[in-house]
Amino acid sequence: MTDQAIDPKEYKAENYANPTVHEPTMANQWFIEPPGPDKEKYKARPGNAVKLLNCGEAYLPVLKDAIEKAEESIYIAIWGFDEELSLTLQEPDEKTKPKNTISKILEDKAAGKNGKKPVEVKILVWFNAFSNVITSEPTLHENAWYNPSLTWSQKAMKGDIPNLQFVTRDPDNFGSSPKSQERIKQLESDREKEQSQITGPGLAVRNPTDENFENQKKLDAIDKINQRIKLVRKAGANTDELQQKRIQNGHPTASMGKIPTHHQKIILIDHRNSQIANCFVQGFNLKPFYFDCADHPFRNPQPHFQDVGLHLRGPCLLDLFYNFQESWNKAVDANPYVWKERGKCNLINEAPPRIESITGTQTYNAQILRTWPLNDEKSIYEFIKKAISQLNEFIYIEDQYFRMPEFADAINDRAKQIRDSCGRQKKLYVFVITSLNEDAFGEVKLREDMIHTLGRDDVNANKEEFDIRQSEKLKKETLDKMQAKGVMVQFCQLMTSKKEMQWSRMGSYEVTRYQNIYVHAKISFFDNAFVLIGSANWNLRSMAQDSELDIAVKCHDDIGKGFREYLWTCHLNCLWQAMDTMGNPTTPEDWYVSWQNLLSQNWVAYRNKLPLIMNLFPYYENLKQLRFKGPINTVTQGTG
């Protein structure tokens, strides 16, 4: 079975609440209209072969093989790059010098080692000097095994490595887009209007004792307009537009405009040769600690990361070429002396490649989506809103931030549509795995607001004390509210554990150690119909401010279902079942009940200081408080 050719008319298909909700909607109208004036770019394309990859255990061997087989070119656009990254997954406790480092492999490919043809290598990394100083995770690593006197990246940027070009890019002037310039003009006009209405001498300056209250109100309005102008100039018009909608809808605003980033994560290989062209769209940064085993064995003090990527062949590579060409040329043109002269970097002026549909294997319709403030693109946001509006059964999300209340509103709206069409017994199921607020930097109130909007105040760390939050009364109230709205939400994190021996003067004894697994993945499953994967998080930065790139894949067979079930097998330690005892597929309601029972068991294990039964764990911000509480012996049964 292969995918279907895409009829352009399907882009304009009407969104509606499908009364037949027992099967996921599979139509191509889930895709969106190409965002720019050139409708041949970033459109949905048939004939793509895709492979979904979970964690470094699956991703690194595929990446290493693809790079080593490259014949003509390797183009990398990444947020974070570390030349010490080994493309061979290291053991959890391995402390030796990294082997098969990406820097050595790329340099050998560029040089044409072992009698092979030299391969053109271009590396584009986001870099901001101020950000690298103030954050705990710089995008470029400065202490390298490869050359202690001068890092490999520094050598590459100087142009000292033949046939390899390494360019960094600062945030572009995202406020230079046509829409942003128009928004700035409108705001400046609004500011002049407010200023013209200020009356009386000397009242253009704020005066707390001034009796002319109307003047003070106008000065406040002018302050707000100035803040918006500053935001648009830094982060673009789309950011301001979504912020204003949040204010209108009663949601907290985000702190935006501070150090916009280029957050895309793609690797494009041999794009000129349709037969061998392939690429990666991913959440992974090319830094060592992002790569882990799928079962996340306990390793201390090294961090654990849950992340995913996608290996792609087929026509969507054309849009990845367009994206890289635009990104590279803007970075080189931004500082021509540094990159064209000292770094010996050239612009990409070649004609777009011709990439044919893949034959001889299963293929899929897919679409490259971007957040690109320079062109006012927010197609990732538009796709997610449209996909939610066509859900029938469930949505499963693994996301680093999960702080987009607009999407929570859209989920509630879709649940209401389903109930109005199909009866009050029909429910929409939401399964979320995310990182803790304390680990995922910034905007804590937005996470709390999103949890509240979805009806899960029982896990909202700042709403109730632990004992109250876990009371049977509050649990029942939460369940009743979710059932009344028709949105059943499982809100989870990931954690790993290990039993260890400790010694004291009194002798040896066993203790159980626990460690959070940082969810860095950015993947969503909409029914069994579509999967969305890439660099974009569910937050305002990714939807409007930063440059991002995702790919949406139509799952006309079981590729999305199969990968989701594989992820759940890993997270739930094989305790979750895709089939019931009669051999029938389990339903979202079954999954919800199963998750609830297993999460309750894991909670009891943690409270009793025992090893966890699986990595999936109830979301709770202040787990350290539980160390001072006594054991519990009850398990709350979940209900659908």
Determine the Cα–Cα distance for residues 637 and 379; give it in Å rounded to an integer.
41
Q: Which one has a higher pLDDT value, 635 or 328?
A: 328
- Between these two residues, 521 and 455, which has the higher pLDDT value? 521
Q: Are residues 67 and 156 in the same domain?
A: yes
Three-state secondary structure along 254-306?
Answer: CCCCCCCCECCCEEEECCCCCCCCEEEEECCCECHHHCCCCCCCCCCCCCEEE
Q: Of the candidates 218, 235, 252, which is a domain's last residue?
A: 235
Same domain, 131 and 269: yes
The amino acid occupying position 187 is L
Cβ–Cβ contacts within 10 Å for residue 636, how many?
16
Contact indicator for 142, 152 with CB cutoff of 8 Å? no
Question: What is the span of the domain harbouring residue 131?
Answer: 36-172+261-342
Alpha carbons 364 and 358: distance in angstroms, whole number: 9
User: Does residue 217 lie within any of the structural domains?
Assistant: yes
CB-based contacts of 358: which residues, under 8 Å, 6+ apart?
A: 47, 48, 49, 313, 314
Cβ–Cβ under 8 Å, residues 233 and 38: no
* 201 DSSP 8-state letter: T
Residue 219 domain-assigned?
A: yes
CA distance 203 to 84: 61
**Distance from C-alpha of 183 to C-alpha of 243, rounded to nearest angstrom:** 14
The whole-chain average pLDDT of the chain stands at 84
In the chain, how many domains are there?
2
**Is residue 96 domain-resident?**
yes
**504 domain-assigned:** no
Which residue type does 295 have? D
* Cβ 160 vs Cβ 146: under 8 Å: no
Torsion of CA 521, 591, 382, 483, to 10 degrees: -130
Tell me the β-bridge partners of 305: 518
The verdict on residue 583 lying in a domain is no
Counting Cα atoms < 13 Å in the Cβ hemisphere of 15 gives 15
Percent of the chain with pLDDT over 90: 50
The verdict on 161 and 182 lying in the same domain is no
Could you tell me if 78 and 221 lie in one domain? Answer: no
Last residue of a domain, one of 308, 342, 376: 342
Q: Does 140 lie in the same domain as 95?
A: yes
Angle between helices 178-196 and 213-235 (to 10 degrees): 170
State the Cα–Cα distance between residues 153 and 102, nearest whole angstrom.
11
Residue 268 and residue 231 share a domain: no
Is residue 640's pLDDT more than 70? no
Which helix (H) or strand (E) segment is 581 a member of?
none
82 and 227 housed in the same domain: no
Phi, psi of 295, rounded to the nearest 5 degrees: -90, 0
d(CA 403, CA 431): 15
Residues 6+ apart with CB under 8 A from 14: none
Q: Which one, of 26, 521, 619, lies nearest residue 284 by Cα?
A: 521
Contact partners, residue 582, CB within 8 Å, separation at least 6:
none
Structure tokens at 193: 């209007």
Q: CA geometry: angle at 56 spanning 447 and 146, to 5°? A: 110
Q: Could you tell me the CATH number of the domain that includes residue 324?
A: 3.30.870.10
The dihedral built from the CA positions of residue 503, 507, 508 and 509, taken in this order, carries a sign that is negative
What tokens were used for 639?
């209900």
Residues 222, 154 share a domain: no
pLDDT at 194 (0 to 100): 85
The answer to whether position 304 is within a domain reads yes
- Of all residues in the chain, what percent carry a pLDDT higher than 70? 81
Residue 587 pLDDT greater than 60, yes or no: yes
pLDDT of residue 168: 87
For residue 97, give both structure tokens.
Answer: 């010098």
Amino acid occupying residue 570:
C
188 lies in the same domain as 157: no
pLDDT for residue 630: 46
> How would residue 135 be classed by pLDDT, with cut points 50, 70 and 90?
low
| Band of pLDDT at residue 507, cut at 50, 70 and 90 | confident
User: Among all chains, which residue has been given the structure tokens 């367009």?
Assistant: 322
**183 and 167: one domain?**
no
pLDDT of residue 146: 44
- How many whole angstroms separate alpha carbon 483 and alpha carbon 476? 10
Selection from 365, 277, 355 nearest residue 1 by Cα: 365
Residue 145 has pLDDT above 80, yes or no: no
pLDDT band at 26 (very low <50, low <70, confident <90, very high): very low
Q: Is residue 168 located within the same domain as residue 224?
A: no
- Predicted pLDDT of residue 470: 63
Q: Does residue 476 lie within any of the structural domains?
A: no
In this structure, are strands 507-519 and 304-306 parallel, antiparallel, or unpaired?
parallel
Both 303 and 336 in one domain: the answer is yes
Determine if the peptide bond prior to 301 is cis (ω within 30°). yes
In the block, which residue shows the tokens 């025992």?
Answer: 610
CA 430 to CA 456: how far, in whole Å?
Answer: 11
- Whether 192 maps to a domain, the answer reads yes
What does the pLDDT read at residue 5? 57
Of 189, 220, 235, which residue constitutes the final position of a domain? 235
Number of C-beta neighbours around residue 179 at 10 A: 17
